[in-house]
Structure 1
């Protein structure tokens, strides 16, 4: 365990190295920070920190830089994530408020995160198990083609074309009512079960005869549309992620020396990104994995800051950033948490 003074020295080294990108010497610490001790004492503290593995000397006669262990202690001792300013909160809200649908929201989110953190941003699509069907619309496009539109509480808008021999316009109102009564207000899992049972009753001898069953039995359009909606409900995009700000990483190629190419290759693999984000399962809890803590060798020159987003009581998916271990952790953690809160709120209320 380090005493409070050595922790202050470590905090000062991390802060100065993040801002200057240069190894930090004892004289600079004394000049820039009110540590209340002599340069000789600071040098002794730095020697102790180096011996414990919290800092290292990259070159002879150079200052010190934090190690992964040093960053870990720094992050663990932050206490709490600082709140964003009112101006920063307004900027986030304004940027997201113009979004049209789920795809637009997530694309805006990665651009926003990449911009405010200057890192690579990653956002996972929400899991459908947490979404509720809000509305199903039936739009006639021609005498032989219509479009089904399904909207869920997570902002997902799914569209599918249905083609039949002939569309009876008089059927559309009844079809719209049938589909909405079958699934609206239910989670996608419940809707799948309800619609499956309804379609099953159509061909089941002795099944209760209801207006919905009768319509499905007598209308090929209704039966095909219900089957198409069932297929739409079963399409889960939570295995997808959106990535933005890769150019931020390439600008930091000197930070990674020869490892920038493997990092970029890892960021192209959806499975790797999903596993990185999938370990986070609680909204409002910011997780930081630093350097060697990352399970993927190609990402062990980076840090991953991530959190969950979703409703007030549950987590729909995760978002975060990937960047060099030399990053502004307090600001990055605050930005990741704030953006996650706004995305969850926007999707819940949108």
Structure 2
């Protein structure tokens, strides 16, 4: 395998795929979190403001998911095939939920009837919460490993994916997104809704801290292989330590009412958690719990060196452009939400 700056191309591509999915988790994470807590807003005006806070950005944020899927297929086709076979039912459900969330946002304001809007509010909130939860379930199963045979085929069944650890990871992910989303909403609102959200962010952050601590303890006790990389390279202990201090800092910033700083701190927490996950999974991408030799790694599942080289150049050009565009959209729609005749 060829190298770039002394690092194998497959490792570079592993980092790129991880970075793109991290971008998706940060950006669509607050959308999903805002949706998950949507039903906690009782007034029609509050719900409209909450929807319009994410209205200009939610569909653009999902672009990062499409890019991530394409990058995974291009860089690690065997991993793409195995994961989509193993998680076929969850991913189909995930797709349906994405569609439901989209049409809920767009259809809600088309009719004035109370039952109509309530129906779409429920679908929007439930689909947003389940999407975040399912993402966590996938991560949880990748941590504990999947029953992959010598042909890299999934030999398990759907109910095996709903194991206690994966469900705990799903709940932790949902709580993280709920915290992230509530912080975003408090930045975009004012008056009574701002006051309500100022209290709500403390509740969502406390729930996340509880789940985060519980998941960490369970992982270290039952899945100690997730600390193997840190054991080999002790200096990497800095990543989870920084994550803990950053989580504490997020709580501190919320107490001080510095919501913009808290939002960036929350985004950093998302990134650090995924970095911790990736560095402890590496060089595995899909770990086989039947036989470690059947695992898919960055070495045996990567595309050819020529393909990786060409795609690395494309990624070096394309990803920054999308990042700039995303930043431009957020800059354009900065500030508090104001309802008008064009609002949802």
Pick the structure with greater CA Rg.
1
Greater share of helix? 2
Greater share of strand? 1
Normalised TM-score (structure 1): 0.25
- Point out which structure has higher relative CO (alpha carbons under 8 A, 6+ apart): 2
Normalised TM-score (structure 2): 0.26
